[in-house]
Structure 1
């Protein structure tokens, strides 16, 4: 399985230059890796995050683009081919959740707004939160799902050890805000915020 994951990452990386060209970003020489499938890239004077996905993961990236546009009010661009998909969104200069004092109020407010719009984030972990100017921003929206959806109907389910609600892991029940609140409690319990 690890060999397959490394191969998938290699396949995605091979498409980086093609994806950058699709967005008019020039060549990949200026791209700075942020993760296995995401890069910080520059377009004029602005920094962006470019995320790539291979065929098996395109639905998640497509969902992330839809959620960013509709729920997070974040400008993003999405393109896909028969081999890969790419998402371009603004880069947020900030600190990790663990480095931000008193971030819980902002994070709780962000989740409450999302829940009032009828969605659950479903993959709340410290790695998926960036704090900037006292405001918490959620990143990696591919698992964001309409509240009331059957968990077993999700095309992909998150698994972040210690943070993911057991019903998400095991594919039980319906999507509900409690999944995010469970993760929020785990973040507080681990002491990752002040």
Structure 2
């Protein structure tokens, strides 16, 4: 009887001890170095992309606002670079307010002998809006004129003037042709007026 009582006391004490025992702390599994580096790179990449988002638009807006002072300082290339960066980053639309500056920048490239670059950017513009396709012909004329082939550029301008007659493109090319004509060497044998012909026949 005493033995049974002792065993019962031991069992009760064992239950109390086990119920009061603390659970072992859960050990954290450390990240591997590769995983840590990957997470860090992804975070930096996200921050970088967030900073660059909308950058071309902000830059070009800044340059347009400061256009006069930039040109006065002779930093035309910075303005052209900002405009072309905007065009390169453009998706399926281009702000119509930007088209004039885009045209000017492309003509600037053509005048500087970079006709291929100008045509490449122009193709991007035409891909966005096909109604600007005739402008490629204007760039072609500008390109030949910039290389000293003024006569050939003038001939092309007159050709395109007839093709686009009655449109705004035709009027623009006509002005270009007139300006090129003034750059041509004077023609030696010019048509005489009736008065000059009569005086020469005496």
On whether the aligned pair clears a TM of 0.5, the verdict is no
More helix by share: 2
More strand by share: 1
- TM-score normalized by the length of structure 2: 0.27
Higher RCO structure (Cα 8 Å, ≥6 apart): 1
- TM-score normalized by the length of structure 1: 0.28
